[in-house]
Structure 1
Amino acid sequence: MKDILTIAMPKGRIFEEAADMLRKAGYQLPPEFDESRKLILDVPNEKIRFILAKPMDVVTYVEHGVADVGIAGKDVMLEEERDVYEVLDLKISECYLAVAGLPDTKINDVAPKIATKYPKVASSYFREQGEQVEIIKLNGSIELAPLIGLAERIVDIVSTGRTLKENGLVELEQICHITSRLIVNPVSYRMKDEPIDELVERLSKVIGG
């Protein structure tokens, strides 16, 4: 595996956009690549192996060296705070983190409850605002929390705002802009500097395009 570059990528929208970028950068990915349900995809002609994972797990794989390189959202990077190098903003899968809730909801004066997948980011944000809040970590369907009385507010990713609107929620504050980043394992950066530098250079040309 010494001469193989292993890349961890999230399934879904980021995978599709990243695969398109890699093709534009000249990497020959097979047509069936996009439809495959396999979790490990080998592309021998390019000496690349792909690991498909949940977004939060990509940074773990890269930090522990089972993947040399990864593609991860800035939201995951902020939340996980892993020991990896962030080498390139791919400028794909653009969205932002925001605070949202039901309109005209009275906020608990003592410690409003905030539901989120991003407890570290949310805690840091409200601390910077000088607000004391209670964070409730959820793993999915964050929009449910205000509807069932679990929390007064949520902190979540917003792309089009459609999900918020369909659930009767309104955006209250934007926290930060999010794009996908190319991340690298520090040891791999030393051991496999040539293929990694080539990957960065080719992707940079696509971005600058």
Structure 2
Amino acid sequence: MTIQRRRRLIKRQRSSVGLALVAAISFLAGMTDAMGLMSLGDFVSFMSGNTTRASVALIQADVARGVLLIGGLSTFVIGNAVGVMVSIRFRPHSVLLFVSVLLACAALLADRREMQFLLLILAMGAINASVEQIEGLPVGLTYVTGALSRFGRGLGRWVMGIRNTHWVIQIVPWLGMMAGAISGAALVQEIGSLALWIPSAAALLLTAVAIQIPRRWQSRFIQHR
């Protein structure tokens, strides 16, 4: 086997592992968002939706809800920042462990809805730092508007004769989030607030899986600048 062929094989394997991890994390994000929406009445990972909801709440003089939602937006930003810090200081899989702890804390606070809401948002912000790109192509984990937009633009270029098919991977996080949201909604209907323990356990399981990924490969899934 030539060096060039071996490099292509490794790249293909690394991409497959990265996409599987993206799908699993997006599944977790979709599950958590559905549970948050059904249990708390607002999104915990879809900040575009919460931005609109906060604006409407303020216009309707529902100041308490508007302030809470704006606090959630700030918490999401902080979660992303902390996730990157954890990823740089330790390793990307450490972000998943951190998220698992946050989700467990949120599940413990079933009687303190505002704190639970903010902890879930903090976790969903942080989880974005676990995988940021696949072979240089950006991917979103807790939101799919950008992924669908990139998929649509890639489709348009393909129709116009530009045969680059890298855009196809953008459907992966959407599929993961859709499947996760369906599962999360079903779980809340079946077991109520206890369902929030399941994302924590899932994040812990993902941590165990991600630990097995070679350090060199993990470093290719995050941005260094």
Instruction: Tell me the TM-score normalized by structure 2.
Output: 0.26
Which structure dedicates a bigger proportion of its chain to helix? 2
Higher radius of gyration, 1 or 2: 1
Which structure dedicates a bigger proportion of its chain to strand? 1
Say which structure, 1 or 2, has more relative contact order (CA 8 Å, 6+ apart). Answer: 2
